[in-house]
Amino acid sequence: MTDLDMDLLRAFVRVAETGSFTRAGQMTGASQSGVSLKIKKLEERLGDALLSRTPRSVRLTSFGARFLGDARELIDLHDRVAARAGGADVRRQLHLGISDHAAGAGLPGIVASLGHSLPRHRLHVSVGLSDLLYRDFRAGLFDAVMIRSEDVGVEGRVAFEDDLVWTASREFHWETGEAFPFVALTEGCALRRFAIRSLTEAGIEFQDVFTGTGVGAVQAAVSAGLGIACLDRRNIPPGSRDVGGLYALPDLPRTRMVLFCREDDIASAILHAFREAI
């Protein structure tokens, strides 16, 4: 039987979470070479490679992705037992990924609700693009992710559905003979694909006037009167409105936010927090 040193496991988990030996070393108080040596020792004890290294990236191998969840469970169990032996208790870390669109303005309330309903967990929340969050969930980097189903083409537990609307500032005016002033996220966003397909099928010429990396940036551009965006109805920024009917723009589909989670009790708490916030 192979003994697994907690120090080696912690080094591996930190590298997996950060994608960097340097950052993992900063978090664990070790040098980059020290972290590399720990990973090498752990791989020797397990008899398989955990990480695939290139000059530009560090990625989990298929074995590493499978082992990551076990490593976290071992660390959590070790810490809880050690804490109870010392008369204390330790909260378990919960890695939660949330789509930028799913979070919206309700993020503070969602996090607060989860803090109350999951008191034995310490939340680590990441907000990002659905396809990247789902990829990292499958790789074992998240315990749960709330994402847009259409971004990944996979059905999860449905949290809620929302209408997509053409959104612009109340002061904005578009001369319909001109190119459609398109405000959107970067490539990879399902809403961008929906909007472009709808405009193209309707024969409406469009021009990118603003491309953002997050919903907040798109909302700011809309509020500033730069153009028209496709957004979830609940993400219409203050001072803006649905202009689809005003400009006879093509209909947009409903969209679905879904949850992927490894534990049913945690899934119930997350679904409740999101449904309460909308």
- Asked whether residue 98 is domain-assigned, the answer is no
- Asked whether residue 269 is domain-assigned, the answer is no
- Asked whether residue 10 is domain-assigned, the answer is yes
pTM confidence score: 0.68
The total number of structural domains in the chain stands at 2
Sequential pLDDT tens for the chain (278 residues): 467 888 888 889 888 888 888 878 877 778 888 888 999 999 999 999 999 888 778 889 999 888 888 888 888 888 777 777 766 555 678 889 999 888 777 888 888 889 888 888 888 888 888 888 888 888 778 889 999 988 888 888 999 898 999 999 999 999 878 999 999 988 778 889 899 999 999 999 999 999 988 888 999 999 999 999 999 998 999 999 999 999 999 999 888 999 999 888 899 999 999 888 77
- Asked whether residue 125 is domain-assigned, the answer is no
CB 167 within 8 A of CB 231: yes
- Please report, for the domain that includes residue 247, its CATH number: 3.40.190.10
- Cα gap 101→213, rounded to integer Å: 12
- Asked whether residue 115 is domain-assigned, the answer is no
Q: Are residues 85 and 167 in the same domain?
A: no
Q: Residue 220 sits in which domain range?
A: 162-254
- Asked whether residue 61 is domain-assigned, the answer is yes
- Please report, for the domain that includes residue 85, its CATH number: 1.10.10.10
- Asked whether residue 219 is domain-assigned, the answer is yes
- Residue bearing tokens 């929302």: 162
- Asked whether residue 250 is domain-assigned, the answer is yes
